[in-house]
Amino acid sequence: MALDHAQPLDVINVQPLAGKLQDVKTHSLLKTAKLQLMRLVLAAGQSVPEHQVPGEITIQCLEGEAVVSTPGLSRSLGAGELMVLPGGEPHALRATTAASLLVTILLSP
């Protein structure tokens, strides 16, 4: 079954999930030929192992707190903070509290 993605010009709700955070799973919000948006939902202590994607990405913390680690640094992101990673940059994520993150991936440079 295909995922139900938003379409260009649709309004996408990325407000904090608050009390529903534990009930929502990571999901793709929009995918076009050049761009993908995902809401990444992590429980406190949960992590995403090191990986990389070819295109540039942004990671915006919508709620909670998470640490983004690359081979050269670790940065904590809190609600309302955003980080940009160059394409191909190895990175991992770890939630220090329950967190919801908006991840934007440039699929074709």
The CA distance from 62 to 68, in Å, is 14
Q: State the pLDDT at residue 109.
A: 62
pLDDT of amino acid 34: 94
The answer to whether 64 and 46 are in contact (CB under 8 A) is: no
How far, in whole angstroms, is CA 44 from its chain's centroid? Answer: 15
CA distance 94 to 102: 14
- Which residue segments constitute the domains of the chain, with CATH numbers given? 20-106 (2.60.120.10)
Write the DSSP symbol of residue 97.
S
Global confidence as pTM: 0.92
What string of pLDDT tens digits covers the 109 residues of the chain?
A: 455 788 888 899 999 999 899 999 999 999 999 999 999 999 999 999 999 999 999 999 999 999 999 999 999 999 999 999 999 999 999 999 999 999 999 997 6
CA atoms within 13 A on the CB side of 28: 12
What is the structure's pLDDT at 1? 41
